[in-house]
Amino acid sequence: MSRKIAVIDDDEVFQLIIRKQLEMKGLECDILKFYNGQEAIDFFNNESDVKNMPDLVLLDVNMPVKDGWGFLEEFKELPDDMKEGINLYMVTSSVIQSDIDRATQHGDVKEFVSKPITNDKLEEIFLAAATS
């Protein structure tokens, strides 16, 4: 079974780096790329098959159109069966303590991870998502 990862980040370089890091570690998966929270929430709202949901979501905070916080507000309203099995991590360059606190207090966020994400940390997240 192929794993699915949704990368929600407006930075095309970050999108490329994540793909390359996964390849270098030999972690096979399909990557769903979204460049803002609105694109991503539209996918989640319009996808009726739970099997098409990603196992792992890497979510940036600062993006145009709909930022990470706006995405989270709508994500929490999704039916539980749609969210089940999705491991959501905020991966951002923001080091603002209020962002860290807000992310860690959100029930759907597993962890707040600062960019740049290391190969080992990405592998740790990938493997943790595989076992949950």
Task: Name the maximum alpha-carbon separation found in the chain.
Answer: 38
Domain count across the chain = 1
List of residues 6+ apart from 25 with CB closer than 8 A = 119, 122, 123, 126
* 122 found inside a domain: no
Q: What is the CA radius of gyration of the chain?
A: 14
Per-residue pLDDT of the chain (132 residues; tens, 9 = 90+): 468 999 999 999 999 999 999 999 888 899 999 999 999 999 999 987 888 899 999 999 999 999 999 999 999 999 888 888 899 999 988 778 887 888 888 889 999 998 999 999 999 998 888 776
Q: Which residue has the tokens 């979501």?
A: 57
Q: Which pLDDT value is given to residue 90?
A: 93
Question: How many residues are there in the chain?
Answer: 132
The enclosing domain of 109 has a CATH number of 3.40.50.2300
Q: Which pLDDT value is given to residue 2?
A: 66
Q: pTM above 0.85?
A: yes
* 123 found inside a domain: no
* 89 found inside a domain: yes
Q: Is the peptide bond before 116 cis (omega within 30 degrees of 0)?
A: yes
Segments forming the whole domain that contains residue 12: 3-96+103-117
